[in-house]
Structure formats: structure tokens, C-alpha cells
Amino acid sequence: MQDFNIEKKKQIMHASYDVSLEIAQKNDISCLTIHCLIHQEALCGKEIKMCSAMKLVASITNFIRGEHKSLSHRQLKIFLHEINAIYKNLPLHCKVRWLSAGKCLQYFFAIRKEILQFLQEEISNDTTYFENALMDKDMLSELGFLTDFTQHMNNLNLKLQGKNQSISDVLHFIHTHFQIQLHLFKIEIENKELHHFPCCKEIKEEHSDVNFTGFGDLINKIASAFDSRFKELFILNNDVLLFSNPLIVAIENKNIKYRIELCNLRTDLYLLIKKETGVDFFKLLPQDLYPELRNFGLKMASMFETTYSCESAFSLMKLIKHKNRSSLTDDRLLILM
């Protein structure tokens, strides 16, 4: 902010990888302060990472693919190829990114029977604990649930990573879509409906007496984590409604400085027939007729909700501007990116 001579009082949002509200207040930043939403979403899934099935998957994967295990890893790939398994390898789980856990669980569940057979036939070390765990119906039911649920979490994570998204888009994904889905998932699990849980359904077909209703409590914990971690974002609900479609909001419930302009907007025939929404709609507003609404639109459009674009740019920049191209100018770098 100092580099661009931006006054702190004009800052409307502060989004960071690890900034806390206390740090922002200490630096006299009086604005909406949020942690990067992608990282927040990943932290909401920590309850899943603590489950026994997740630890089992990590242990077996590290046993086969961990440090100094190149021989067993090669044997596994050959074994999976020979029996024509759906996947020909088992990916390592990285704790840094949540998407890694989802991919690891997806692969592991798909070839769980082949992994059990591999441990029984190809590994000379004692793997009794792993073999018993892979045959335990309670462990398998937990594995099926985690695989399904992490896939739902990953779908949300990928939506949050999209480019050219506004704060209203992200709030829509988290609140309107996923939090309502969590409520639906809890009801379905407790009613033994597994339509949105294909892995659980597969385990149910193999073991008819397994019970998934207990996972409703885990979904509750994750829903509570979302409510807690995204409470700063939900403060924007009313503003997001106004930003998304100012033509249909209840005028009497909005900030008093916008009301007259909103009334005028309802009778503006030129704007009433426009199909644009969000920032594209606010661009159409004449500055002399709708100064307050235009400023509001600029404020909402300038809010960024994640550090994804910044991190992506740095990752790409590291690939382009390496030690052998250190003389690359900033202008050239911008063109390449």
C-alpha cells in the first residue's frame, strides 16, 4: 500500500495467507479482514484428516511408496498392471494441499482390494495390521465416506480457484451451494440414502450390515467449522445481494444513501432491459446519475477473496524467470505470463 501511495482509510478489504484480525487492527487497518478462503476451506476439512481411515491410507501409502521404498513401489506398479487394475499407481498424500488427500483417497479406494492382495502376496514383511484393517467393515465404511466427502470438498476447492471471480461468486459457492449441501448430506446419511455417496454405496453392497448414520456428527462438525471460519465473509450477505442484482432487492432494507438511486434505477428503461449482472451492470451506470451505486460497485469489484491468483502468478514466474534467465525484464515477464 505504501508503494502505491494508497491511504489505509481507503482500504476496503485485506485478504492474506496468514494475516490475523489482530495484526490488521494493530496497523490501523479498519476494513473487512479475511484469511484466504481457499486455505480456510482446507482447514475446515481437518476433522477428516484426523479420522482413522485417513491415517491408515497414509500409513499404507508410505509403507509402499515412502522413503527407501522404490523396490516395493515398482513391484506395486507391475502388480497393478498385471491384474489390469483401474489405476496403475498409488499417489503420495501431501499435507500441504487438501486436493492431494482427495486424490490419494480416490485412488486408494478404487484399488483397495488390489492393495490387500499385493500386501498378502508380494510383501515379505509383516503386514498383518494393514491386512486386517483393509478387511474390517467399519474401517471400510469410514474409508468410503471419507472418499466421497473429500470429493465434494475438492469440487468446492476447485470452484474457489477459478479466475475472474467476484466476492459474490465465492460467497455463492460457499454459502448458497456447499453449506446447503452439507445440510442435505447430513439428512441423507442419517436416512441411509447414499445417492450422493457412491463409495459408501459400493461398501454397502459388499457388506449389507454396515451403518453410515454415525457420520452425520462429522458432517455437523464440518458445517460448524464453515460457520466459524467464514463468519467475516457472511457479513457481506446484504451487500452481495445488492451487487448481484440491484433491480430486485428490497430498497427499504438497504443503506439509506443508496435508496433514492435504487428508486431511480427501477424506472430507468435503458437499464431495465439490460441482461448484465454484477460488475458488468454497474459499469453501465452513469456517474452523474448514480454516483453512490457506482462507488459501491467499484468497492465490491475491488474485493479479492483468495490469494490464488497471486500464488499462481508466482508459481508461473518461478518457471519462467529461473537462474538461467535472471536478466529477464519485468515488461518481458508480463508478456510471457
Mean pLDDT of the chain: 78
Identify the burial level of 25 via C-beta atoms within 10 angstroms of its C-beta, where 0-12 means exposed, 13-18 middle and 19 or more buried: exposed
Cell of 332: 518481458
C-alpha pair distances (Å), 214 with each of 141, 186, 296: 11, 10, 46
> Residue 167: how many CB atoms within 10 A of its CB?
26
Choose among 224, 225, 228, 99: nearest CA to 153.
Answer: 99
Asked if residue 17 has pLDDT above 60, the reply is: no
Distance of alpha carbon 182 from alpha carbon 323, whole angstroms: 47
Cβ–Cβ under 8 Å, residues 90 and 66: no
User: Alpha-carbon torsion 238, 244, 248, 252, what sign?
Assistant: positive
Q: How open is the CA angle 276-278-282, to the nearest 5 degrees?
A: 80
Q: Are 200 and 194 in contact (CB under 8 A)?
A: yes
103-158 confidence digits (pLDDT tens): 888 888 998 999 899 888 888 788 899 999 999 999 999 999 999 998 888 888 77
Selection from 49-53, 170-174, 225-229, 284-288 with the highest mean pLDDT: 284-288
13-16 and 32-35: which strand pairing? parallel
Segment 238-261, tens digit of pLDDT: 888 888 888 888 888 888 999 999
Give the model's pLDDT for residue 32: 62
Rounded to whole angstroms, how far apart are CA atoms 215 and 227? 19
Contact 238, 253 (CB under 8 A): yes
Cβ atoms of 147 and 209 within 8 Å: the answer is: no
Reply yes or no on whether the pLDDT at 322 is more than 50.
Answer: yes
Q: Of all residues in the chain, what percent carry a pLDDT higher than 70? A: 69
CA angle 190, 192, 196 (to 5 degrees): 95
Distance (Å, rounded) from C-alpha 305 to C-alpha 166? 8
Nearest to 124 by CA among 52, 57, 71, 58: 71
Q: What is the pLDDT of residues 73-83, one digit of tens each?
A: 777 777 777 66
Q: How many CA atoms lie within 13 A of 206 on its CB side?
A: 14
pLDDT exceeding 90 applies to what percent of the chain? 24
pTM: 0.74
Query: What type of residue is 178?
Result: F
The predicted pLDDT at position 200 comes to: 95
**Nearest CA to 154 among 256, 48, 246, 63?**
48
The domains of the chain are located at: 39-235, 245-312
Q: How confident is the model at residue 4 (pLDDT cuts 50, 70, 90)?
A: very low
pLDDT in tens, 186-216: 999 999 999 999 999 999 999 999 999 999 9
How many C-beta neighbours within 10 Å does residue 148 have? Answer: 25
Give 35 or 264, the one with higher predicted confidence: 264
Q: Report, as an integer, the average pLDDT of 91-106.
A: 66
**Which range, 37-51, 81-95, 127-141, 306-320, has the best average confidence (pLDDT)?**
127-141
Residue 322, C-beta contacts closer than 8 angstroms, at least 6 positions apart:
none
**Model confidence at 96: pLDDT above 60:** no
